[in-house]
Amino acid sequence: MYSFKTFFICVFIASFLGCSSSEERYERISRQETALKEERKKIVNLQNAIEDAAKAHSNLKKRYTQLEQLREENDNNGNPVGPTPPSIDDAYGDQLRQIKKNYEEITNKIEELFEERKRIVEEQYD
């Protein structure tokens, strides 16, 4: 009888520790998932800012082209032209592609963490 009681206590403690371990894993994964969701929100904000900047840059390029055309026209007509404006580069497309790639990677990681949390819950009830 004594060995059965000891065995029962050991099984109880082991199952309790197993649940505790599962709960800790679940909580850790939940925190990781929450952190990645927050990062994904910031990525969306950055993506919106880059898109806004790209639109503004497009407007800038349009006005730059208009200025170049006017300068060329003035030069061809013998009218004086001012100093050459600084050139403008087009880096927003690359930035936007990279931030969209980051968004997809984080979304995939969030889905993996969600599935892992789901498995932990299923393990606890099996």
Tell me: the pLDDT tens digits for 45-78? 999 999 999 899 889 889 989 989 999 999 999 9
What local confidence, expressed as pLDDT, does residue 70 receive?
92
Token pair 């001012």 is found at 82
Tell me: the pLDDT tens digits for 18-44? 556 888 889 999 999 999 999 999 999
Which of these ranges, 39-43, 45-49, 81-85, 115-119, has the smallest mean pLDDT? 81-85
Q: Is the pLDDT of residue 1 over 60?
A: no
- CA dist list (Å): 84 to 66, 67, 76: 13, 10, 16
Find the mean pLDDT for residues 84-101: 79
What local confidence, expressed as pLDDT, does residue 86 receive?
73
Residue 84, both tokens: 């050459």
Map residue 84 onto helix, strand or coil.
coil
Nearest of 106, 97, 102 to residue 34 by alpha carbon: 106
For 77, other C-beta atoms within 10 Å of its C-beta total 7
Residue 34 to residue 44: CA distance in whole angstroms: 15
The per-residue pLDDT of the chain, averaged, comes to 83
Q: Which amino acid is at 50?
A: I
